[in-house]
Amino acid sequence: MTTSNGKKKGRRKKTTAELTEAEWEIMSVVWEKEPCAAGTVQEALARSRDWAYATVKITMDRMVRKGFLEISKIRNLQLFRSCISEVEARRGELRKMLKRGFGGALTPMLKFLIEHEGLSKEEAAQLREFVNKAGKSKD
């Protein structure tokens, strides 16, 4: 879909997003540098990934179709912007993990973290503080 100002948009804006690992890496660069060209993303990822420009561009075009990115054109240059925030992407990741590992329930996940991942005293204190604040804001 192209708008009257020449912007090509993704199909829809998502409130949660389940990104692949490659999409996460690309989105991290886009969030930091937007608007940016595919070449900018490829250069930023050159140290961690040995992706050719075509690989990055094809992946970013797919992300447009999925509604994660949008394209604006300036003459021959395509600039990409995010259609989802980091919060939306993190929410999608959390929901995917909760669904797979804990039947969609948050409490069993927190219990697992406390029992099996060894919280430090500082982390436990912070968690108690978060829980207390959340309880007070619900009243």
Residues 16, 88: contact at Cβ < 8 Å? yes
Per-residue pLDDT tens digits for 108-118? 988 888 888 88
* Distance separating alpha carbons of residues 102 and 112, to the nearest angstrom: 9
* Domain residue ranges in the chain: 21-86, 105-138
Residues 11, 65: contact at Cβ < 8 Å? yes
Q: Give the pLDDT of residue 1.
A: 40
- Residue 119: which pLDDT band, with cuts at 50, 70 and 90? confident
* Distance separating alpha carbons of residues 61 and 12, to the nearest angstrom: 14
Per-residue pLDDT tens digits for 63-107? 999 999 999 999 999 999 999 999 999 998 999 899 999 999 988
Reduce the DSSP state of residue 9 to 3 states and report it.
Answer: coil
* Distance separating alpha carbons of residues 68 and 82, to the nearest angstrom: 6
User: Is the pTM higher than 0.75?
Assistant: no
Residues 45, 51: contact at Cβ < 8 Å? yes
Domain covering 21-86 assigned CATH 1.10.10.10 in the classification: yes
Per-residue tokens: 6: 């020449």
* Distance separating alpha carbons of residues 65 and 127, to the nearest angstrom: 39
Residue with the two structure tokens 């998502």: 14
Reduce the DSSP state of residue 70 to 3 states and report it.
Answer: strand
